[in-house]
């Protein structure tokens, strides 16, 4: 059966600038696959036609970096920080990432599913049809595997595809404080083989930073991941230049994420390796960072740049993809078109899914977002608005008003 959406403006996000825009357009799909996207006058005949009243249609948004499965939240820690308590003091009193690890370990499967489901449903109601979700708040074999199973479990419950990423090397757990290399051994020898054999993750991530893991430790994790046939990505150069971008490039990483302190050599290495830079403006905003990622250098070097929410309890409690686009423009110097590309075609590339999604073209999945706006720049422009009218996930429609209930 062919369905035709007509009387639309398409932002196809193909190479044609700006936005791959087609006015007075139509889009047709058969089953879950787009068969036509172009001028209304050239549209094929269809079994069913829906007039969308001139609305804008974009590819379904792709959020390529989230940590949305976690126990508890860190609102009170944030409140304390605003009242002047130092991060060191908070960490000393058991706060920070290890507070989330404790809460996540203590939460049962169903409680974690419920809270993550609510956050993911919010993303979906804002036009997201593909999301990446990381583990990394378990830091023991049992809880890391539980988080990945939940990630796998969430996709079928909502109109969204989930890519699961194993982030065992996120922080050093308290029981290994005196033996970080021992924990890296657990990640490589106990967690990774199990996760690979049960196909619980699509990729492996790590946090390269003075407060987390050294490049040498991450090389061990990445080498093991490569042996097991898993692609890698990296939290790189967020708080200092630790050579993270170069390390990611050396391992042919899908993406290097954050990159505030990435050097010129790091940017060049990403360009040569074809690694996507994932910029996370929510964390930049929430932490009130002073050093922006080298957007102009990435642009000049031709590095594809994706934008994601980084939804997490400590540094970016952000469930609005459109606000992430706005932050990218107002704080980091992206154009609204670059920002939208960052959450569609470039985000698809960051997840190695660009063969079947991220643009509106025949052959791609009918993953669509329908918006109550006239021009795509409005998506990044309005603060706190949600103009999402409906989404189509693999050709199946969900009304945004329905998903907000």
Smallest gap from Cβ 124 to Zn ion, in A, equals 20
C-beta closer to Zn ion: residue 287 or 385: 287
C-beta closer to Zn ion: residue 132 or 337: 132
Smallest gap from Cβ 363 to Zn ion, in A, equals 32
C-beta closer to Zn ion: residue 77 or 310: 310
Smallest gap from Cβ 65 to Zn ion, in A, equals 6
Angstrom distances, CA of residue 261 to CA of 347, 374, 392: 21, 37, 38
C-beta closer to Zn ion: residue 209 or 310: 310
Task: Pick the closest to residue 57 from 326, 361, 328 (CA basis).
Answer: 361
Piece in contact with Zn ion (CB under 5 A), picked from 15-23, 38-46, 109-117, 303-311? 303-311
Token digits of residue 43: 């549209």
By Cβ distance, which residue is nearest to Zn ion? 310
Piece in contact with Zn ion (CB under 5 A), picked from 49-57, 171-179, 288-296, 308-316? 308-316
Piece in contact with Zn ion (CB under 5 A), picked from 96-104, 305-313, 344-352, 392-400? 305-313
C-beta closer to Zn ion: residue 50 or 239: 239
Smallest gap from Cβ 63 to Zn ion, in A, equals 12
Alpha-carbon 333 to chain mean position: 20
C-beta closer to Zn ion: residue 236 or 390: 236
Smallest gap from Cβ 360 to Zn ion, in A, equals 29
C-beta closer to Zn ion: residue 52 or 306: 306
Piece in contact with Zn ion (CB under 5 A), picked from 20-28, 158-166, 242-250, 302-310? 302-310
Smallest gap from Cβ 310 to Zn ion, in A, equals 5
Piece in contact with Zn ion (CB under 5 A), picked from 16-24, 306-314, 327-335, 373-381? 306-314
Piece in contact with Zn ion (CB under 5 A), picked from 12-20, 97-105, 307-315, 379-387? 307-315
Rounded distance, CA 389 to CA 246, Å? 42
Smallest gap from Cβ 169 to Zn ion, in A, equals 12
Rounded distance, CA 280 to CA 323, Å? 11
Smallest gap from Cβ 67 to Zn ion, in A, equals 6
C-beta closer to Zn ion: residue 78 or 381: 78
Q: Which residues ranging from 309 to 328 are in contact with Zn ion (CB under 5 A)?
A: 310
Applying CB under 5 A, the residues found at the interface with Zn ion are: 310
């Amino acid at each position: 059966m062919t369905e035709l959406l007509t009387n639309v403006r398409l932002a196809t996000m193909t190479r044609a600038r700006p936005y791959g825009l087609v006015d007075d357009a139509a889009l047709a799909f058969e089953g879950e696959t787009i068969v036509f996207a172009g001028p209304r006058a050239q549209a094929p005949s269809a079994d069913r036609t829906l007039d969308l009243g001139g609305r804008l249609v974009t590819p379904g948004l792709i959020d390529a970096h989230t940590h949305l499965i976690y126990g508890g939240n860190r609102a009170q820690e944030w409140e304390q920080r605003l009242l002047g308590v130092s991060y060191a003091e908070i960490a000393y009193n058991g706060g920070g990432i290890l507070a989330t690890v404790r809460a996540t370990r203590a939460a049962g499967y169903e409680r974690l599913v419920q809270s993550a489901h609510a956050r993911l449903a919010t993303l979906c109601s804002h036009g997201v049809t593909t999301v990446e979700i990381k583990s990394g708040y378990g830091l023991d074999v049992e809880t890391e595997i539980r988080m990945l199973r939940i990630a796998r479990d969430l996709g079928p419950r909502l109109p969204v595809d989930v890519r699961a990423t194993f982030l065992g090397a996120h922080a050093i757990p308290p029981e290994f404080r005196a033996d970080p290399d021992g924990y890296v051994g657990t990640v490589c020898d106990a967690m990774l083989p199990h996760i690979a054999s049960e196909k619980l993750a699509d990729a492996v991530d790590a946090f390269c930073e003075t407060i987390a893991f050294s490049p040498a430790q991450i090389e061990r994790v990445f080498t093991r991941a490569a042996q097991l046939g898993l692609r890698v990505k990296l939290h790189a150069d967020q708080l200092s230049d630790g050579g993270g971008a170069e390390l990611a490039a050396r391992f042919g990483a899908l993406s290097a994420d954050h990159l505030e302190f990435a050097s010129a050599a790091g940017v060049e290495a990403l360009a040569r390796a074809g690694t996507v830079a994932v910029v996370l403006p929510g964390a930049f905003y929430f932490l009130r960072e002073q050093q922006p990622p080298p957007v102009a250098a990435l642009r000049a070097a031709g590095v594809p740049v994706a934008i994601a929410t980084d939804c997490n309890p400590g540094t970016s409690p952000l469930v609005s993809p459109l606000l992430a686009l706005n932050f990218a423009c107002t704080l980091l110097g992206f154009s609204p078109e670059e920002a939208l590309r960052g959450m569609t075609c470039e985000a698809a590339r960051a997840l190695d899914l660009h063969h079947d999604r991220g643009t509106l073209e025949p052959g791609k999945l009918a993953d669509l977002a329908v918006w109550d706006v006239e021009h795509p720049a409005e998506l990044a422009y309005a603060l706190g608005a949600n103009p999402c009218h409906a989404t189509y996930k693999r050709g199946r429609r969900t009304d945004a008003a329905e998903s907000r209930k």
